[in-house]
Amino acid sequence: MNKPEPITPSAEAPVSLYAKHEPVFNRRIDGKFRRIKWAIMAACLAIYWVTPWLRWDRGPYAPDQAVLIDLEHRRFYMFGIEIWPQEFYFVAGLLIMAGIGLFLVTSAVGRAWCGYACPQTVWTDLFQHVDRLIDGDRNARFRLYKAPWGPAKIARRVFKWAIYLAISFATGGAWIFYFADAPTLHQEFWSGTAAPVAYGTVLVLTLTTFALGGFMREQVCIYMCPWPRIQTAMLDEKSLIVTYKEWRGEKRGSLKKAQKNPGEYGDCIDCNQCVAVCPTGIDIREGPQIGCITCALCIDACDRVMAETGRPRGLIDYATLEDAENEKKGHPPTRHAKLIWRPRTLVYFAVWAGIGLGLLFMLGTRVHTDVSVAKDRNPPYILMSDGSVRNGYTLRLHNMQNRPRDMVLGIEGLPGAVMWTEDMAREAASRTLTRTVAPDATQVVRVYVVAPEDTRDQDFAFTLEAQGEERESDTAKAQFDAPGDE
């Protein structure tokens, strides 16, 4: 009789889809890439906190905040640019540029966005710095983590979380200043007279920053953010990534072993410094991983070890998989500039720059006069006692200049038709009407158009011409409905 197959542990135990969170106690490191990270972090935080307080003089009729998303008046201000709701394609264009820009950066320098400029990275870095200031570097933090809870540990934790909370509050608090005049809202906020939505927004953003930056950290990058998956799909063998040159580093062994057995060991002395400094707690020597945000701190750490042991730098370095293979065969590494400017990145750059130039051209040539029309649908027309036909329209006259302007509204096409508005007598109807539109404002006008008895269904247009030096104009197509054509 055959013996039963032994049951292996793997067959018996269900595979867990949940990996227990292991806290990361990364060591402080100094080096070229760390200094670049400091500079980018400082720039990102400064831009975020300072921008709402910058002023920009737009005259007496528009807000003087340089960057403002004015939800109440449905405007977006960015320095000298003012975007109206009907010009939302500019914002759509900027979002498309941001998306293609991310593709461009990923194809050129891998996950540089994740490693240097992503808000999750920047705020995690800031919180980790607070950890170091309060609890000390890696070993001290680990000892404190393992220590039993007592008054000293509780006091440290409370103090540190209070700092986390202050940073989170400053982060959430700054966000609302992008949506209203910052000095006014600041005063209203602290006097308790701001809108409830302002307090709600600050509360939600404070709590999310506290949780994501203070506690979840690399978990957001590894498990929550979709971007690493998208980027992984976009990387190819020519993409720059942080690479451990295993052909040079293996077989690993301590300095002592290497000295005792010359020629048997590679350059990696297995000191684990690259792991100790990693903000996501991974070991790059195990190959490219989704947890690697390519912050390059392991390069700084390993370069320092190489310098101390008298070996050439670059055991861990920015390299493409293709280049690493070539290096392994003894070829010199390709210059990074050459790797960055390859056909794929050039195509992304061309598309990105093309959209940017297109937007700039449209911005430079856009007119500051706009008319839009909505026709009455019920009833579509009214038969007048003299046999003529009347249609009703609601027109919006937009004056996008910071001064009042006279605007002449006219009818183009529709022979014999005249128009009048609710605030004038029908006898005064004509083919043109003049309205004065307030600065930076929209005037809503109810217009009645009446056409002679035998008029059929047809298209026509309303024209709007701003008077003054510029004489800008705009046209809006409209439909005229008449009986007997349904």
> CA nearest 199: which of 166, 178, 169?
169
Least spacing, CB of residue 279 vs ligand SF4, in Å? 6
- Cβ proximity to ligand SF4, 25 vs 177, nearer residue: 25
Task: Give the whole-angstrom CA distance, residue 424 versus residue 145.
Answer: 79
Residues that bind ligand SF4 (CB under 6 A): 242, 249, 268-274, 277-278, 280, 282, 284-285, 292-298, 301-302, 305, 315-316
Nearer residue to ligand SF4 within complex by CB, 74 or 229: 229
Sheet holding 75-78, edge to edge: 67-70, 75-78, 81-83
Complex with ligand SF4: residue 301 or 418, whichever CB lies closer: 301
Q: Can you spell out the DSSP letters for 60-124?
A: TTS--BSEEEETTTTEEEETTEEE-GGGHHHHHHHHHHHHHHHHHHHHHHSSHIIIII-HHHHHH
- Please state the closest distance from residue 300 (CB atom) to ligand SF4, in A: 9
CA distances from residue 80 to 67, 68, 71, 404 in whole angstroms, order as listed: 9, 11, 18, 19
With respect to ligand SF4, which residue has the nearer C-beta, 139 or 436? 139
Which residue spans within 306-383 are E strands per DSSP? 316-319, 369-375, 382-383
Burial (CB count <10 Å: 0-12, 13-18, 19+), residue 288: middle
**Smallest distance from the beta carbon of 277 to ligand SF4, in angstroms?**
6
> 38-73 burial string, b = 16+ CB within 10 Å, else e?
eebbeebbeebeebbeeeeebeeebbebbbbebeee
The nearer residue to ligand SF4, 67 or 305, going by C-beta atoms, is 305
Whole-number minimum distance, CB 302 to ligand SF4, in Å?
3
In whole angstroms, the minimum distance from the beta carbon of 218 to ligand SF4 comes to 8
In the complex, least distance from residue 12 CB atom to ligand SF4, rounded to whole angstroms: 34
Which of 185/316 has CB closer to ligand SF4?
316
CB of 189 to ligand SF4, least distance (A): 38
Closest CA to 449 of 407, 476, 411: 411
Nearer to ligand SF4, 194 or 277 (CB): 277
